[in-house]
Amino acid sequence: MSLIENLLIVFVAGLITDLATGLGVIPFFFTEDFSDRWLVGLWGLASGIMLSASFLGLIPEGLAAGSNFPIYGSGVLAVSMGLFIGAGLVIAAGRWLDEAELDPGTFEEADFKKMALILGILTVHSFPEGVAIGVAFAELGLGSGVPVLGFAIPAIAITMTIAISIHNIPEGIAIAIPFKSMGISNWKTVGAAVFSSVPQPIGAVIAFLFVTQAQTFLPLGYGFAAGAMIYLVITEFFDEAFEQGRHLERRGLPAFAAGNIGGLAVMVLLFLMV
């Protein structure tokens, strides 16, 4: 296969994972209003999903990848560096949003800034997943693999594409929850969810072209993604949930905890499936 054909296949794989994020918004087409208790529970669900994805997926992947590169000494060092860089990005983005002159339009200023921060961090964090897709396609065009539409696709590339697509569906839910609570329309929320994963096809193509260099930076990338998500959940999602539940018994803690457990269960099931 030519280089152009290879790049097109890799781009399509990244695009599939990107579009899968929009599937997480589908439930919100069937219901418009959520009680405060449900909203608190949904914030808990989103938090559970993102924390589980970080601690059960991104961090272990980063540790495993880091152990393959003597330059890091150990995977722990690489992932730790990534975690601090990711958290630092959230802090810097929050400060920038506080100082920037934004036009919130029909949204309250605070809600608009929170929405922009959540979407921005999720968009940035999706890039390492795109890199992982590109790396998985490293043996594309070498003649071996699973026949798909006349092309021999490496089995690991198919597995990675399916896994990240499934993983992206609950990320779409995580985006939809704050967007719907701020009154954003369903189709705009779908667009925002898909937009948040646009770096995946881009990252996949870049990683495929520079697979050796991309592999070297994977441990940092995974740690970076995890650090950004963990800090975002702790500083934004928790605060939003308890603010939403301020009129509920114990400020909605039981509903929030139930949502967290549900998010953990969802992600454990997904990891077992793939």
Task: Dump pLDDT digits (tens) for 31-72.
Answer: 765 677 877 887 888 788 878 878 887 788 788 878 777 776
List all residues 6 or more positions away from 108 whose beta carbon is below 8 Å from its beta carbon: none
Find, among 60, 201, 235, 69, the residue nearest to 126 by Cα: 201
* Other residues' Cβ atoms within 10 Å of the Cβ of residue 77: 15
Residue 102 pLDDT > 60, yes or no? Answer: no
Residue 242, Cα to own-chain centre: how many angstroms? 23
Residue 117 pLDDT > 70, yes or no? Answer: no
Q: What is the per-residue pLDDT for 100?
A: 54
Q: What is the per-residue pLDDT for 115?
A: 63
- Domains held by the chain: number: 1
* Cβ 35 vs Cβ 248: under 8 Å: no
Residue 78, Cα to own-chain centre: how many angstroms? 20
Query: Full-prediction pTM beyond 0.85?
Result: no
Q: What is the per-residue pLDDT for 144?
A: 63
Distances (CA, A) of 127 to 97, 198, 218, 226, 241: 21, 8, 10, 12, 27
**Of the spans 94-98, 116-120, 133-137, 227-231, which averages the highest pLDDT?**
227-231
In one-letter notation, the amino acid at residue 105 is G
Residue 107 pLDDT > 60, yes or no? Answer: no
Per the structure, the complete domain to which residue 108 belongs is given by 3-273
